[in-house]
Amino acid sequence: MRALILNFDFSPISVCTVEKAFLLIYLEKAEQVQFFDGRQLRTVTTAFQMPAVVRLLRYVKIPYKTIELTRSNVFKRDGFECQYCGSVRDLTLDHVFPRSRGGRSSWKNLVTACKPCNAKKGDYTPEEAGLDLHTKPFKPSYIMFLKHFSGFDFVEWVPYLQMTG
């Protein structure tokens, strides 16, 4: 299980294990804002509510967070489906503007594509190959990634992630 960490001003800054979140509470560096209903962390003698959201007790200046450009993160952004035909089988990465023609590996030039569509597209642009992109590639923000692409879907987090853009 994972917990959402909020800065002192309630802005989301990170995700950690519930054990780490509990440790922050125990060390009086954070307070529990929301817990997982009906779930507990247990010691030999005591049971504690499992933290879902914790808030740091002092403001921490966080440098601008960016999402690393990785194969896995592009797949997450694209919902693990081909951006040309919607298939979920034999997925690979495709450079919208081909590398052979100067296309770079960037958030705005990489999409998830199935092997048949990638082969059909080849060294052409989607327009030249007669393919339509379902979604224009984009660079997700850190908060957007937490909300939509992190794979963590906890109802306890929703109010704190909706406070931000």
Cα torsion through 143, 149, 151, 156, rounded to 10: 40
The three state secondary structure string of 17-78 is EHHHHHHHHHCCCEEEEEEEEEEEEECCCCEEEEEEEEEECCCCCCCCCCCCCCHHHHHHHC
Q: What is the mean pLDDT of the chain?
A: 91
Helix ranges restricted to H, 96-146: 115-121, 126-129, 142-144
Q: How far is CA 43 from CA 29, 37, 47, 68, 139, in A?
A: 20, 18, 6, 37, 43
CATH 3.40.50.170 fits 71-129, yes or no: no
| pLDDT, tens digit (0-9, with 9 covering 90-100), for 99-118 | 999 999 999 999 999 999 99
How does residue 64 score in pLDDT terms, banded at 50, 70 and 90? confident
How does residue 43 score in pLDDT terms, banded at 50, 70 and 90? confident
Nearest Cα neighbor of 106 from 117, 95, 119 is 95
How does residue 3 score in pLDDT terms, banded at 50, 70 and 90? very high
Inter-residue contact 50 to 38 (CB < 8 Å): no
Alpha-carbon span 44 to 22, nearest angstrom: 16
Domain range annotation of the chain: 2-64+142-162, 71-129
**Cβ atoms < 10 Å from Cβ of 7:** 16
| pLDDT, tens digit (0-9, with 9 covering 90-100), for 130-164 | 999 999 999 988 777 777 766 666 888 888 877 65
